A and B are shown apart, each in its own frame.
Chain A
Amino acid sequence: DGGITQSPKYLFRKEGQNVTLSCEQNLNHDAMYWYRQDPGQGLRLIYYSQIVNDFQKGDIAEGYSVSREKKESFPLTVTSAQKNPTAFYLCASKITGVGTEAFFGQGTRLTVV
């Protein structure tokens, strides 16, 4: 089955630690996105990538880092510089092109303890 997989589903982080969220897709999509969602709010763009080895900052990139070494994978690292990391993180992928829809994973809920 084709799809986009995020892991883990739940993640707990101690203050001062870096954590990495995984996002893998087997849809052969070129474009991938990371979003953050806070309770009762919409999705805010963290980073996006249109092609391997290239990515751009979104609206709230501070305290986050990404890499795009493979087409299938777009991991997100939440660094200790992110002061309020507790949130629901969503990864999406799509075909690069006009008006093509994005498909989402089921999300990772990150909690700082």
Chain B
Amino acid sequence: EDQVTQSPEALRLQEGESSSLNCSYTVSGLRGLFWYRQDPGKGPEFLFTLYSAGEEKEKERLKATLTKKESFLHITAPKPEDSATYLCAVQAASYKLIFGSGTRLLVRP
């Protein structure tokens, strides 16, 4: 069964305190792994696509990496405006787009 698991469920950081979010997956025929940011009451906003193990993508303070079994979203020197829920999703061979339960990030000033 295709499955996506994110950890931790919630993460509290001080401004400037770097950390990583984890997304582990089991899927038949990975067609892509995606990271999204979601603010309360809004639709998810696309951040990154990763296609194959070893790939990395960066955007401002965020860096996403991919292995054969998991992906990490590294947050370097976060700011309060980085507070949001971060969602990981995979596209399977069946074209289903499957999401994890998300990590709620709170960055305190």
> Which residues from chain A sit less than 8 Å from chain B, CB to CB?
6, 31, 33, 35, 40-45, 48, 50, 56, 58, 88, 90, 92, 94, 96, 98-107, 109
Contacts and interface: CB of A to CB of B under 8 A. Distances in A.
Nearest to B95: A50
Contact of A40 (B45, B95, B100, B104): B104
B102 A99 contact: no
Contacts of B42: 106-107
Nearest to A102: B97
Q: Is the interface of B mostly helix, strand, loop or mixed?
A: strand
Given A103-B46, A107-B43, A58 B96 contact: yes
A56 B96 CA distance: 9
Contact of A101 (B34, B100, B102, B104): B34
Interface of B: 6, 31-32, 34, 36, 41-46, 49, 51, 87, 89, 91, 95-102, 104
B44 A41 contact: no
7 contacts: A41-B101, A41-B102, A45-B98, A90-B43, A90-B44, A96-B95, A102-B34
Nearest to B91: A99
A35 B95 contact: no
B21 to A, nearest CB: 13
A76 to B, nearest CB: 15
Contacts of A58: 96
Nearest to A94: B97
Nearest to A40: B104
Given A42-B6, A56-B96, A107-B41, 10 more contacts: A42-B87, A44-B99, A88-B41, A98-B91, A99-B49, A99-B51, A100-B49, A101-B49, A103-B46, A107-B43
